A and B are shown apart, each in its own frame.
Chain A
Amino acid sequence: KAGVTQTPRYLIKTRGQQVTLSCSPISGHRSVSWYQQTPGQGLQFLFEYFSETQRNKGNFPGRFSGRQFSNSRSEMNVSTLELGDSALYLCASRSDGNWEQYFGPGTRLTVT
């Protein structure tokens, strides 16, 4: 079974631009969560999608948004990028009734 994949792996953007990151969960997993890790910070929860609906949301500004498609693939969008958005963005998928989350390799976003 293929693992969680994320594209792109690395990205460099300029302040003020917007960016879209993609996450393909493990086949059959309907829950996809997104996390941000910045230097010196632990993993911070952005949001969770389940069956195309946002089920949970962390404490991030509205510039961070996401969506999930019918095939469970998820995208995360950050608008009006700020230098502080430079981070590793991880997604994780989970199957129904299963406790474990499986993480993707992450997208390293650098904002200059």
Chain B
Amino acid sequence: ILNVEQSPQSLHVQEGDSTNFTCSFPSSNFYALHWYRWETAKSPEALFVMTLNGDEKKKGRISATLNTKEGYSYLYIKGSQPEDSATYLCAFDNFNKFYFGSGTKLNVKP
């Protein structure tokens, strides 16, 4: 069983704050790393898929970086908004077999 860890477990920030989360995964036999956003009562929504060491992806105010050699990825949210409130999941893609972290629950207060 592969171990994927996310930190922190939860985060409470004020609107306008910037924040970041960490995802740690095994550094050997890397294939891909996925980030998802999961809002309450909805389905998980894909944010990024990262495959190469040094990858940086950006979508609006959200960006992510990847370090496969040391086994971590960061997700950044710039200027958090209440609509960013959700659980952010990372998943280590081991050749189509996904190992999810337990997520970081973000609460953005207006």
Q: Which residues of A contact B (CB under 8 A)?
A: 3-4, 31, 33, 35, 41-45, 48, 50, 55-56, 58-59, 90, 92, 99-106
Contact = CB atoms under 8 A, between A and B. Distances in A.
A42 B96 contact: no
Contacts, number: 56
Nearest to A99: B49
Interface of B: 1, 4, 32, 34, 42-46, 49, 51, 89, 91, 93, 95-103
Contact of B102 (A35, A42, A105): A42
Nearest to B5: A42
A31 B43 contact: no
A2 B42 CA distance: 16
B17 to A, nearest CB: 25
A99 B43 contact: no
